[in-house]
């Protein structure tokens, strides 16, 4: 009987819902997208489903939709687009040696893939979740016209490259009725839309607790916002760790 009890405990510890079930590993999923691109709506829907369903067992998908501006002169100006997001995508070109395109998903800064290839996206997220990640924690408070972040970061690994602390605000539940361009006549829905992405300090050898503020836009819906913080190599673009938080009042 004792052997049976031990066996039952081992089964419980190694099955979904068991006491020893490993925590999900946060994986940053960047989607470079545009409302002026007819191939992008399926990728936008995929990003939303990854956020909502969290279908990768070992991964906590942390999505961020970055709307680029290089489609804006083709008939429809994407209200969520930014030249800063286009520049961020360009910085990946040195790593991936390819042209700019949408929809493109970048997984943990290491793998760039077409954003509407569902099976490939899921495989790359699952693979990223199996890699070591540095621990990061963030809390966020809405104060007047600012989002105040408290960020706990670990020491920089020995002999590591320079690692940047990056913070972003994303917004869910956004949509646009498109009247011109490739998506004319469609109402497009978006989740985890990047409102601002800001590079903060470099990771130090001692670790730190940082207090930072990000500005809020007047038309942003506070109840739909999320704070995202990640650690990214300045040269390799590798994402070493990610955290997210729902802001409180």
Tell me the per-residue pLDDT of 114-169, one tens digit each, with 9 for 90 and over: 999 999 999 999 999 999 999 999 999 999 999 999 999 999 999 999 999 999 99
Asked if residue 177 has pLDDT above 90, the reply is yes
Residue 102 domain-assigned (yes or no): yes
Residue 2 domain-assigned (yes or no): no
Residue 211 domain-assigned (yes or no): yes
Residue 3 domain-assigned (yes or no): no
What mean pLDDT value characterizes the chain? Answer: 92
> What local confidence, expressed as pLDDT, does residue 98 receive?
79
Range of the domain at 217: 22-245
Asked if residue 109 has pLDDT above 60, the reply is yes
Please report, for residues 13, 173, 191, 240, the alpha-carbon distance to residue 51 in angstroms, rounded to integers and kept in the order given: 27, 12, 8, 20
The number of folded domains in the chain is 1
Reported as a pLDDT band with limits 50, 70 and 90, residue 22 is: confident
Asked if residue 237 has pLDDT above 80, the reply is yes
Residue 12 domain-assigned (yes or no): no
> What local confidence, expressed as pLDDT, does residue 19 receive?
52
pLDDT in tens, 209-225: 999 999 999 999 999 99
Q: Is the pTM for the entire model greater than 0.75?
A: yes
Burial class (CB in 10 A: 0-12, 13-18, 19+), 20: exposed
Residue 14 domain-assigned (yes or no): no
Please, where are the H alpha helices in 172-248? none
> What local confidence, expressed as pLDDT, does residue 8 receive?
38
- Give the CATH number of the domain where residue 117 resides: 2.60.40.10
Residue 5 domain-assigned (yes or no): no
Residue 8 domain-assigned (yes or no): no
């Amino acid at each position: 009987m004792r052997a049976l009890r031990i066996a039952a405990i081992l089964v419980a510890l190694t099955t979904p819902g068991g006491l020893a079930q490993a925590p999900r590993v946060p994986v940053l999923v960047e989607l470079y997208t545009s409302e002026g691109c007819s191939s992008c709506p399926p990728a936008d829907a995929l990003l939303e489903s990854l956020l909502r369903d969290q279908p990768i067992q070992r991964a906590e998908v942390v999505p961020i939709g970055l709307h680029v501006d290089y489609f804006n002169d083709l008939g429809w100006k994407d209200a969520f687009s930014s030249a800063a997001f286009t520049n961020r995508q360009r910085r990946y070109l040195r790593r991936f040696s390819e042209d700019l395109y949408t929809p493109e998903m970048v997984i943990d800064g290491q793998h760039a893939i077409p954003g509407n290839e569902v099976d490939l996206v899921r495989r790359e997220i699952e693979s990223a979740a199996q890699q070591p990640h540095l621990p990061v924690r963030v809390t966020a408070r809405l104060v007047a016209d600012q989002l105040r972040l408290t960020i706990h970061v670990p020491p920089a690994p020995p002999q590591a490259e320079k690692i940047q602390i990056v913070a972003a605000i994303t917004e869910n539940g956004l949509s646009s009725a498109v009247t011109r361009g490739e998506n004319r006549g469609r109402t497009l829905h978006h989740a985890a839309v990047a409102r601002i992405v800001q590079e903060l300090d470099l990771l130090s050898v001692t670790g730190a607790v940082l207090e930072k503020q990000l500005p809020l836009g007047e038309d942003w819906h506070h109840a739909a916002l999320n704070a995202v913080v990640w650690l990214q190599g300045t040269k390799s673009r590798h994402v070493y760790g990610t955290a997210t938080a729902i802001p409180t009042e």
